């Protein structure tokens, strides 16, 4: 997870909670709700590579391969840098 200069500790913890919630929902097969949780996390920190990757995995499970690929590309770019 990246640390944004504009993000305070409370926002960081909130973002982490949304990602964890998304992971739990994904494991329960509640894919639409998981995507919504990842989106909320990404609204707080759009540079969280793990959130992008997790969202991609969920989209892949839903058969939304084009959207999943976009998420994986963003995650990869964030993991390795430009």
The string of pLDDT tens digits covering residues 14-52 is 999 999 999 999 999 999 999 999 999 999 999 999 999
What range defines the domain where residue 70 resides? Answer: 9-80
As a whole number, the mean pLDDT across the chain is 93
Handedness of CA 68, 54, 11, 21 (dihedral sign): positive
DSSP three-state, residue 6: coil
Does any domain span residue 2? no
Kindly indicate the confidence band of residue 2, based on its pLDDT and cuts at 50, 70 and 90: very low
CATH number at residue 53: 1.25.40.10
The pLDDT assigned to 82 comes to 63
Domain count, the chain: 1
Pair 19, 50: CB distance under 8 Å: yes
Pair 75, 52: CB distance under 8 Å: yes
Pair 7, 17: CB distance under 8 Å: no
Q: What b-and-e string marks burial along 39-59, b requiring 16 or more CB atoms within 10 Å of the CB? A: ebbbebbeebbbbbbbbbbbb
Whether the per-residue pLDDT at 64 is higher than 70: the answer is yes
């Amino acid at each position: 997870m990246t640390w944004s200069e504009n993000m305070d500790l409370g926002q960081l913890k909130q973002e982490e909670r949304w990602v964890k919630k998304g992971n739990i929902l994904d494991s329960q097969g509640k894919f639409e709700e998981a995507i919504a949780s990842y989106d909320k996390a990404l609204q707080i920190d759009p540079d969280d590579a793990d959130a992008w990757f997790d969202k991609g995995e969920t989209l892949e499970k839903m058969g939304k391969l084009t959207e999943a690929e976009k998420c994986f590309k963003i995650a990869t770019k964030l993991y390795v840098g430009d």
